[in-house]
Amino acid sequence: MLSTEQAIDLAEGAAERFVAAVSPLGEQELRAPASLPGWTRAYGVAHVAQALGAYIRILSGAARSDRDAGACDPTTAAYSRPVEETAALPGPALVRELSEGAEEFIARARSLTARDWEREVTSGGGWQHTARYTLLRCLRELETHHTDLGIGYDSDKWPAPYVRWALDDTLHTLRSRNFPVTAVEATDLCVRWEIFSHGPVVAGPSRLLLGWLAGRVPAQSLSSVAQVLSSAPVPEPPPWPQPPVKGW
């Protein structure tokens, strides 16, 4: 399990990489399709910028012991527009909003106390979890959607500590939902997660497995590069991410 300080450092590194990667993109590159179907790169950047604003509101609320997550905080007004409206901003303005949101999120994260991090908060989507889990959600948002832009940051570049946490978190949730695989083995980590009473055992490199669980690597493609111990087909995972299991 990542410590809070480790998670902040990882989120800061992910944010810096994301901003550095999109800053040089011209208008034509930003309006081009992303690798995630239905998205342009500008839409992906806007989605992350708006997500950062939501996470800032949650951290603001946690610092004030406020369960409504800082909905009236005037400093986050720029992050309450629809994603489509944000995506339509000129490139420099769009990147600036992303950069400012990332800086604000990390600054607020570093200002929280240990007690603040343990407060329960409610996200805009209705998920209830500790404020600390918001930090991990932000890390996941940055790493996943950087990959989704299709600009050379692939899953093989995901930091190992992030991959291990995300596999733990995702598979813990899938175990609680009876996901039909017997076990998942990350061969490069020498770690095995027992999941359900029946189904295939899926073994492969950790980043590939996370790509599958995140819906970025199709199950049929996984079978050709990972070891599948069973004649049962590899199932498609549910939409990702899933709400965390209570207490996780």
Concatenate the DSSP letters of all residues of 178-225 into one string.
T-S-SEEEETTTTEEEE--SSS-EEEE-HHHHHHHHTTSS-HHHHHHH
pLDDT tens, N- to C-terminus, the chain (248 residues)? 799 999 999 999 999 999 999 999 999 999 999 999 999 999 999 999 999 999 999 999 998 875 444 444 545 556 678 999 999 999 999 999 999 999 999 999 999 999 999 999 988 778 899 999 999 999 999 999 999 999 999 999 999 999 999 999 999 999 999 999 999 999 999 999 999 998 989 999 999 999 999 999 888 777 666 667 666 788 889 998 888 887 55
> For residue 47, what is the enclosing H or E element?
helix 41-63
> For residue 121, what is the enclosing H or E element?
strand 120-122
Structure letter (DSSP) for residue 239? S
Which amino acid would we find at residue 36?
A: L
pTM: 0.91
